[in-house]
A and B are shown apart, each in its own frame.
Chain A
């Protein structure tokens, strides 16, 4: 299953939001990949891969998850990306 989300945090998918994103993706029993608009999806468990996407605030990303907890992982990641950093 997949979901497209608009990235709210000011830093985009860098620094702390990216770290949080990778951490969350790793928490679930699911294979999670993430793609920036039109690019190939990368491993969401890799901080390097995620930050290399160069996603800025306001960009859309597509998250693809497979596995037992795919839905829960998507919910958590969507929540994270929809929340301004100060509240996260």
Chain B
């Protein structure tokens, strides 16, 4: 096939994984509008299923309206936010719901039934004057929202996309991405989102080619178009040339190693995956992870009305252990706060959430009950884990905080003992994310089994620079000498204190930095699953003595450019 060069169009965005894929474009959210296809034969419609779809769409519409109401109240004001209350009321208005249900029972699909049920009231209001006519606009809004949710936002569709789909969307929520099947999705591209958005993290975990943040131009791509998503270059190409196509199909020439790897001289380095949902476990196994180095537990608490109970958590932790029968699973206790709000937890607005009450600060404070329930589930899961379950505490800044967390583990163990429930004390560790924790690493290492360096937060806090802020994003670089030295100091403290030391930030997943990290003395590297094969390959080529020399030169460097130069020279 000869590709027509003229037809090739390229859109730029942010690439999130070193993978490319080609497929047929499917729009997740059609660009709005209420033009529906002709309804099918009533005999082919299942009224009960349609009622369920309608109810689900109303639930989701209600959630959206609540969120938008809150945002409007914050940004604009209470008066302007009140319109969302009126919209919510329309959702439950018997005149609408009765109309929809009657039509559905006659064999009309939910989206058509919604359109019909709104017709009369809209016409009635539109014909009136002043305030009443505005109501017609409100009704149209609610109708369009429901139809969008019923047509574009259909949850079932995402899980059942045809093989070779390139998914295009305005944005993908955590629950959207969780449904994507990497076997069917050749890639996805979104108009919104950055490298750290949930969709991006998910794409790296499941090794799905993805480009985010393309902007409004993305909507120029028609459904069914032939699209290449290049997660390395950050481009979305419509009607790619045969050259481009071939390169994408060629994929990576790196072998997936299921077995643990060692350096050339035989030093074992554990290569593990960062995981934030159960769906990502499979991707981690597939990419050859030795275990889980960071099991984020926030997903258990998001998108729901109340916290998960002990039994539900126990099941989830057991599932993670099952996915890696020979590997370690490191679970991080609930890390809310910062940019991770959870609706049913009271989280007063903080001036600077990243410097506020988050991580273990909440677990030892307002979320003490949740912390205890989570630890109960973890200790019980550890009983079946043959010592493979590890638990670490996020955002530790002081020794008393760590001691309080360890005491909670003790008291939970006593409770379980008294209740005659099976349990085991898992390996316990600390996340090194605050400068304070890095400076106190020797004190912390004496008290735990392991340390795990979270380089994203550590870099942000050491450099006092947010990577979300373009003006200072250049400062947010883990190769800044201060960060390199904080890592070196932590690794050394771990060795002295008989605690193993791992790293679970994005830095750990960069194969160009593997030699440096081995040289700095890390025992474990945990990353988004997609780069595991590259990092394993890099370890297998590393000579520990060379790595140590590189590390000592990097520690002595006074600028990040100098650190970078050392790395580039050894990689040549």
Contact = CB atoms under 8 A, between A and B. Distances in A.
Contact of B95 (A11, A14, A43): A43
A48 B95 contact: yes
B90 to A, nearest CB: 6
B75 interface: no
B90 A54 contact: no
A47 B85 contact: no
B96 interface: yes
Nearest to B89: A47
A6 to B, nearest CB: 20
B541 interface: no
Interface string A42-55: 01011111011010
A47 B132 CA distance: 12
Contacts of B121: 48, 52
A19 interface: yes
A45 B94 contact: yes
Contact of B125 (A11, A16, A52): A52
A33 B247 CA distance: 69
B131 A46 contact: no
A1 interface: no
Interface in B16-75: none
Interface of B is mostly: helix
A16 B95 CA distance: 19
A51 B94 contact: no
A75 B386 CA distance: 67
A22 interface: yes
A66 B288 CA distance: 68
Nearest to B94: A46
A48 B96 contact: yes
A54 B82 contact: no
A52 B124 CA distance: 8
B417 interface: no
B563 to A, nearest CB: 61
Given A14-B132, A54-B132, A47 B125 contact: no
Interface string B85-101: 11001100111100000
Contact of A47 (B93, B124, B128): B93
B82 A43 contact: no
Contacts of A43: 94-95
A15 B93 contact: no
Contacts of B125: 51-52
A54 B125 CA distance: 10
A19 B95 contact: no
Given A19-B89, A43-B95, A46-B95, A51 B82 contact: no
A66 B121 CA distance: 26
A51 B130 CA distance: 13
Interface in A46-87: 46-49, 51-52, 54
Given A46-B93, A46-B95, A48-B96, A16 B82 contact: yes
Interface in B95-109: 95-96
A86 to B, nearest CB: 13
A19 to B, nearest CB: 6
Contacts of A48: 90, 93, 95-96, 121, 139
Contacts of B139: 48
Query: Which size bracket describes the interface of A in this complex?
Result: 10 to 19
Interface in A3-60: 11, 14-16, 19, 22-23, 43, 45-49, 51-52, 54
A47 B82 CA distance: 14
Best-surrounded residue of B85, B89, B94 (most CB of chain A within 10 A): B89
Nearest to B99: A48
A52 B139 CA distance: 13
A47 B131 contact: no
B94 A14 contact: no
B94 to A, nearest CB: 5
A34 B89 CA distance: 18
Contacts of A51: 125, 132, 135
Contacts of A52: 121, 124-125
Interface in B298-315: none
A43 B186 CA distance: 52
A19 B131 contact: no
Contacts of A11: 131
B131 A14 contact: yes
A76 B72 CA distance: 30
Contacts of A54: 128, 132
A43 B89 CA distance: 14
Contacts of B124: 52
A80 B484 CA distance: 67
A19 B85 CA distance: 8
A27 to B, nearest CB: 13
Contacts of B135: 14, 51
Given A43-B95, A52-B124, A15 B131 contact: yes
Contacts of B128: 54
Nearest to A42: B95
A49 B139 CA distance: 13
Contacts of A15: 86, 131
A81 to B, nearest CB: 18
A52 B121 CA distance: 8
A16 B125 CA distance: 17
Contacts of B90: 47-48
Nearest 5 pairs of A and B residues by beta carbon: A47-B89, A46-B95, A48-B95, A46-B94, A48-B121
Given A47-B89, A52-B125, 10 more contacts: A14-B132, A19-B89, A22-B89, A23-B89, A43-B95, A47-B93, A48-B121, A49-B93, A51-B132, A54-B132
20 contacts: A11-B131, A14-B131, A14-B135, A15-B86, A19-B82, A19-B85, A19-B89, A43-B94, A45-B94, A46-B93, A46-B94, A46-B95, A47-B86, A47-B89, A47-B90, A47-B93, A48-B139, A49-B93, A54-B128, A54-B132
Interface of B: 82, 85-86, 89-90, 93-96, 121, 124-125, 128, 131-132, 135, 139
